[in-house]
A and B are shown apart, each in its own frame.
Chain A
């Protein structure tokens, strides 16, 4: 038998008091319309953008002001602690130099490669741990333990293993970011509502098919949070690594930071720090938060 849409003639509702199909359709449409009316149109785009932006601008303004107040207080001479205007000017000037962009390019390439490796390692470990019970017992808590280990503590070992090379930096970036990514995936899979897994099984999704169509999509929001956290760890580890591992003829953001310190150029140093902050926040905002918000909104998880 097939779930066909053909009506069986003669079986239509003709009994007294019974609904005709047409009446039924109208009643259903009425119920649906009543429900849908509850979903109001939200405010205009410009208004929402302003509402999302002004608190951030205000916070930045307040922070810069506090900084300026400390400078005004004369706590340290201005060649040690320059004011925000001096630093912002230097930042702007640095952006005009090709050397800065070479450094940014090197660092971002390392960040991209390192993060990609961390995702590969983290996802492999996460899937394996969520799949096999004994593996979870064996290394589940170890992963969380690794997450709390400061990445700088890995460097001495990394330097022994890889010497002063990019390999040492990558090693620390991967080991810094992979646990967060693995944990995000594991807790995402752990928190898949059992009802959805059951619904998937009823529809015939078992084994790998279930992972592809049900479990991974259901775990996605938590996994994205893990990725975001992984990125934060990767970026921190990368900066620590670049400070310690300086490769000749390969200017990087970290190495610039080190040079500025050696030249005791405070304004230059703080301009580089500002650059690190801006890149970290920009990647998070553009790549991760946007995706995360879209995914959550689609599922009706976001507050807005």
Chain B
């Protein structure tokens, strides 16, 4: 290929990328799965005292997708995230993750001896980023979550919502491809949670991350997800899947969100009732 043709092709590619909005809905062009689980089973304990946390879960999550995992207590949500994050090994089955993962918890899990900026910088430092670029990048990430003015505050000086935003900035500092979130807004008040939904959606849109978001709040799942995966409890098993075809950006009050949430809740209730009948 002559050099000028190559240049032209490159230019055409650039144009194509900048004019076409990047689609992240499942209906978009098929890409490699960011996360692929096949027959994943996790059993805790040995001998007679075993507890099956997850039972043959097969799931494929596409790159750039926002997947919400919903379930009642004991559905193994946290176990599932731990497995995807590589913090734990499955008893059987296969897990494939393209790229790296970052994990956010229900509590911010910020290091109390470090400032907001220090927490973000530590994530960069552990990735081997040098001092100068580290400081600049930490500042950038805090500004991304609208906390540029709070870089020197320590976690205890921040509200729960602010801490979760610092935790988000810290997770983003890991430069991961897949962001795993374990009920990150579960402990927040309603208004803060609503605003953080908007904030998370914006960050996700800007970064193009693949997000796996675990929650027991069905409405939250309908508000945020491209897809909702419902897990049955004890042991955790795939119960149902919902594709969310609602336009973005959404609001939690949207009628579409409400309708979908009602439908998912129905499933969830039936699932929970099943356990009541057994005993």
Give how many B residues have a beta carbon under 8 Å from the other chain's beta carbons: 60
Q: Are B205 and A8 in contact (CB under 8 A)?
A: yes
- Of the candidates B125, B126, B146, B247, which one forms a contact with A29 in the assembled complex, judged by CB atoms under 8 Å apart? B146
Q: Are B205 and A11 in contact (CB under 8 A)?
A: yes
Q: Which of A1-60 contact B (CB under 8 A)?
A: 1-11, 13, 15, 17-19, 21, 24-25, 27-29, 31-32, 35-36, 39
Q: Are B21 and A11 in contact (CB under 8 A)?
A: yes
The chain B residue with its CB closest to the CB of A9 is: B18
Q: Are B156 and A199 in contact (CB under 8 A)?
A: no
Q: Are A218 and B21 in contact (CB under 8 A)?
A: no
- Of the candidates A18, A19, A213, which one forms a contact with B122 in the assembled complex, judged by CB atoms under 8 Å apart? A213
Q: Are A300 and B195 in contact (CB under 8 A)?
A: no
Q: Do A195 and B109 contact each other (CB < 8 Å), given the known contacts A7-B206, A11-B22, A25-B146? A: yes
The chain B residue with its CB closest to the CB of A14 is: B249
1/0 per residue, CB under 8 A from A, across B130-166: the answer is: 0000000000110110110010001111110110000
Q: Which of B200-252 contact A (CB under 8 A)?
A: 202, 205-209, 247-251
Q: Are B202 and A21 in contact (CB under 8 A)?
A: yes
Chain A residues lying within 8 Å of B154, measured Cβ to Cβ, are 298-300
For residue A143, CB closer than 8 A to chain B, the reply is no
For residue A220, give the distance in angstroms from its CB to the closest CB of chain B: 7
Q: Are B159 and A35 in contact (CB under 8 A)?
A: yes
Q: Specify which of A11, A13, A36 lies most central, judged by the most chain B CB atoms within 10 Å of its CB.
A: A11
The chain B residue with its CB closest to the CB of A27 is: B195
Chain A interface size, under 10 / 10 to 19 / 20 to 34 / 35 or more: 35 or more
For residue B87, give the distance in angstroms from its CB to the closest CB of chain A: 6
Binds B, one of A160-168, A202-210, A233-241: A202-210
Binds A, one of B38-46, B51-59, B68-76, B99-107: B99-107
For residue B85, CB closer than 8 A to chain A, the reply is yes
For residue A77, give the distance in angstroms from its CB to the closest CB of chain B: 57
For residue B75, give the distance in angstroms from its CB to the closest CB of chain A: 20
Tell me the bound Cα distance from A218 to B109 in angstroms: 12
For residue B194, give the distance in angstroms from its CB to the closest CB of chain A: 9
Chain B residues lying within 8 Å of A280, measured Cβ to Cβ, are none
Q: Are A198 and B109 in contact (CB under 8 A)?
A: yes
- Of the candidates B113, B177, B208, which one forms a contact with A220 in the assembled complex, judged by CB atoms under 8 Å apart? B113
Q: Do A8 and B206 contact each other (CB < 8 Å), given the known contacts A202-B85, A203-B174, A217-B113? A: yes
For residue B172, CB closer than 8 A to chain A, the reply is yes
Q: Are B127 and A204 in contact (CB under 8 A)?
A: yes
Q: Are B195 and A6 in contact (CB under 8 A)?
A: no
For residue B117, CB closer than 8 A to chain A, the reply is no
Binding site for A on B (CB under 8 A): 18-19, 21-22, 85, 87, 99, 102-103, 105, 107, 109-113, 122-123, 125-127, 140-141, 143-144, 146-147, 150, 154-159, 161-162, 170, 172-177, 191-192, 195, 198-199, 202, 205-209, 247-251, 254
**A204-B127, A298-B113 known; 15 other A-B pairs, CB under 8 Å?**
A3-B209, A6-B206, A7-B206, A11-B205, A13-B202, A13-B249, A15-B248, A18-B250, A31-B192, A32-B147, A35-B158, A195-B105, A195-B109, A196-B111, A199-B109
